[in-house]
């Protein structure tokens, strides 16, 4: 019986990243968190414990990104048996290049992994951008509702509260910055 099918699944590190990005598809396999070095990394749902994350297949991971509008391609290059990886950006398809601007060529497995890593980066950028868009809308709304001074005072008080509770101040810091920017 053949048992080595691990290559079908995205690596542990990327599985953690996908989990953070909101991947929530049904999987048949799971990683036990912190046990990525062990051979018995994959277990069935039946044996799943609380401290685990889903182990997506490459095809599941890629679909997760295309559903978010991140289009990619893994195409054969002119070099025999090698592949290039590209992404659909504002200016059309853009291939992954090296520091000299030459298109990078990979084996199929390398292409899959490189493509996945790049998609994770693009998805994070997309999320940050959409978070920033939301904060911008909130800033405008607060200025309209309270006026500049009160809005800044409110933002400051929430920043202090976050610090006191050891929470993340990013949202309120950004909001305050935007209120000042929009009203100056």
Chain residues in the site for another protein (CB under 8 A): 1-6, 8, 26, 28-29, 39-40, 42-44, 46-47, 57-60, 63, 66-67, 69, 71, 73-76, 78, 80-81, 83, 88, 108
Q: Residue 32 CB, nearest distance to another protein (Å)?
A: 8
Q: How many CA atoms lie within 13 Å of 118's alpha carbon, on the beta-carbon side? A: 22
4/100 with CB nearer another protein: 4
Q: Residue 98 CB, nearest distance to another protein (Å)?
A: 22
- Please, what's the b/e burial string for 133-155 (b: 16 or more CB within 10 A of its CB; e: otherwise)? eebeebbeebbeeeeeeebbebb
- Strand-by-strand arrangement of the 72-76 sheet: 72-76, 83-89, 92-95
80/100 with CB nearer another protein: 80
Q: Residue 126 CB, nearest distance to another protein (Å)?
A: 15
Residue keyed to tokens 């853009």 = 94
Q: DSSP letter at 93?
A: E
10/142 with CB nearer another protein: 10
59/153 with CB nearer another protein: 59
Provide the 3-class DSSP secondary structure of residue 80: coil
Helix axes 170-183, 108-146, angle to 10 degrees: 60
47/170 with CB nearer another protein: 47
Q: Tokens in use for 46?
A: 């039946």
Q: Residue 111 CB, nearest distance to another protein (Å)?
A: 11
Question: Do the beta carbons of residue 179 and residue 143 sit within 8 Å?
Answer: yes
Q: Residue 134 CB, nearest distance to another protein (Å)?
A: 23
């Amino acid at each position: 019986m053949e048992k080595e099918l691990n290559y079908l699944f995205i690596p542990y590190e990327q599985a953690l990243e996908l989990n953070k990005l909101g991947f929530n598809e049904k999987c048949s396999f799971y990683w036990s968190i912190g046990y990525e070095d062990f051979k018995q990394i994959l277990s069935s749902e039946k044996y799943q414990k609380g401290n685990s994350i889903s182990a997506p297949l490459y095809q599941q991971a890629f679909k997760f990104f295309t559903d978010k509008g991140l289009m990619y391609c893994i195409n054969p290059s002119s070099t025999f048996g090698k592949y290039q990886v590209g992404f659909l950006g504002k200016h059309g398809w853009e291939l992954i290049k090296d520091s000299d601007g030459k298109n990078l060529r990979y084996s199929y497995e390398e292409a899959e992994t490189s493509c996945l890593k790049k998609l994770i980066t693009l998805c994070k950028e997309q999320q940050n951008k959409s978070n920033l868009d939301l904060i911008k809308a909130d800033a405008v709304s607060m200025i309209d509702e309270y006026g500049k001074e009160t809005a800044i005072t409110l933002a400051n008080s929430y920043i202090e509260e976050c610090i006191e509770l050891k929470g993340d101040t990013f949202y309120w810091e950004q909001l305050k910055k935007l209120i000042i920017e929009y009203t100056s």
